[in-house]
């Protein structure tokens, strides 16, 4: 039949070095990497336990140096398990636990403190204080009045907004209030802030790319889902400078390439997203039409 390729013709058109993609998930309990072929079949995997630290009651942290070593290790181990070479990897997608953050020195790249986990409760009193404050009551009342006249859905949502410990917002305020080194760096515009995805991207590109994606930004409590940008209202309310926050990109985006020194070859970074899952990070690599909506704890609409 005309139009159909014979087996020799098909083999001739197949790539001599078929590409593979990496799906990497930094979850709350494990960090996992899968190697996928062009048919989205798992060809190799590796997993390591995330080592949470508990320096005080209610505090939950992650050592960034340990996490980085584990991140690099699971990629190398998964590629080895797949029986392929690094130069056969054509893309990397990264999913991460939500709202876990860190700050670091813009000039040196050195971190000021450990990752503060989304499970951390050090800001619980700050959250209670803000939610019960006169300023918050005025904010809610103002938004309700403005909504009455404008019927703006954005203002209606703002009138219901409250802080939680799972959001990044007041945990970041706690850091700014309690770590003088971070305060000074912010004043000197020498401080970078990021959730795990942002920090990994910064590390992988040797500081050349500083960004996050919409899904990770949306879990911070600092993002405006109506304007799709950082919220000027919330950041002004709690005195967090907008200059501290990274640019926000699409989840499926060209985030640059992994520096060649890390794995021996540059690997394109093509997707960032918050948990749920490494399986979804792969869907973003393969393109539209490969994913259906699934709601998990922490999902937003």
* pLDDT of amino acid 203: 98
* pLDDT of amino acid 276: 56
- Does some domain include residue 225? yes
Average pLDDT over residues 262-277: 88
Average pLDDT over residues 47-57: 98
Residue 28 clears pLDDT 70, i.e. is over it: yes
- Does some domain include residue 291? no
CA 38 – CA 160 distance, rounded (Å)? 45
Average pLDDT over residues 70-98: 97
Domain with residue 109: its CATH number is 3.30.420.40
Task: Find the domain containing 77 and state its range.
Answer: 20-123+165-286
- Does some domain include residue 298? no
**Nearest to residue 240, comparing CAs of 124, 97, 130, 114?**
130
Q: What percent of the chain has pLDDT over 70?
A: 85
* Dihedral class, residue 194 (left if φ above 0, else alpha if ψ from -120 to 50, else beta): beta
- Does some domain include residue 26? yes
Q: How far is CA 295 from the centre of its chain?
A: 18
* pLDDT of amino acid 18: 73
CA 38 – CA 14 distance, rounded (Å)? 11
Which residue in the block uniquely carries the two structure tokens 């590409």? 19
Q: Give residue-wise pLDDT tens across range 180-221.
A: 999 999 999 999 999 999 999 999 999 999 999 999 999 999
> Do the Cβ atoms of 123 and 177 come closer than 8 Å?
no
Computed from CA positions of residues 46, 97, 291, 90, in that sequence, does the dihedral angle turn out positive or negative?
Answer: negative
**HSE value, Cβ hemisphere, 13 Å, CA-based, for 290:** 13
- Does some domain include residue 2? no
- Does some domain include residue 71? yes
CA 153 – CA 146 distance, rounded (Å)? 11
- Does some domain include residue 143? no
Q: How far is CA 289 from CA 139, 148, 253, 284, 293, in A?
A: 41, 40, 16, 9, 11
pTM for the model: 0.86
Q: Give residue-wise pLDDT tens across range 101-159.
A: 999 999 999 999 999 999 999 999 999 999 999 999 999 999 999 999 999 999 999 99
- Does some domain include residue 4? no
Q: How many domains does the chain have?
A: 1
């Amino acid at each position: 039949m005309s139009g159909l390729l014979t087996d020799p013709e098909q083999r001739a058109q197949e790539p001599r070095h078929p590409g593979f993609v990496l799906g990497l998930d930094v979850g709350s309990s494990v960090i996992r990497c899968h190697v996928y072929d062009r048919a989205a079949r798992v060809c190799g995997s590796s997993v390591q336990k995330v080592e949470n630290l508990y320096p005080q009651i209610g505090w939950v942290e992650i050592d960034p140096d340990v996490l980085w070593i584990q991140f690099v290790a699971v990629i190398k181990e998964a590629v080895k398990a797949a029986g392929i070479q690094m130069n056969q990897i054509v893309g990397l997608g990264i999913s991460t636990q939500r709202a876990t953050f860190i700050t670091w020195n813009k000039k040196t790249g050195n971190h000021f403190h450990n990752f503060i986990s989304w499970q951390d409760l050090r800001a619980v009193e700050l959250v209670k204080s803000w939610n019960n404050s006169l300023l918050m009551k005025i904010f809610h009342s103002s938004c309700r009045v403005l909504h009455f006249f404008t019927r703006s859905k954005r203002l209606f949502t703002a009138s219901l907004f409250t802080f939680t410990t799972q959001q990044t917002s007041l945990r970041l305020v706690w850091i700014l209030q309690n770590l003088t080194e971070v305060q000074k760096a912010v004043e000197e515009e020498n401080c970078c802030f990021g959730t795990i995805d942002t920090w990994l991207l910064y590390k992988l590109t040797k500081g050349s790319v500083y960004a996050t994606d919409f899904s990770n930004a949306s879990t911070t409590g600092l993002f405006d889902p109506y304007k799709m940008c950082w919220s000027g209202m919330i950041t002004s309310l709690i005195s967090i400078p907008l200059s501290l926050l990274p640019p926000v990109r699409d989840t499926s985006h060209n985030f640059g390439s992994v520096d060649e020194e890390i794995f021996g070859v540059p690997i394109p970074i093509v997707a960032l997203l918050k948990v749920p899952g490494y399986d979804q990070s792969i869907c973003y690599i393969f393109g539209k039409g490969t994913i259906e909506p699934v709601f998990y704890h922490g999902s937003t609409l």
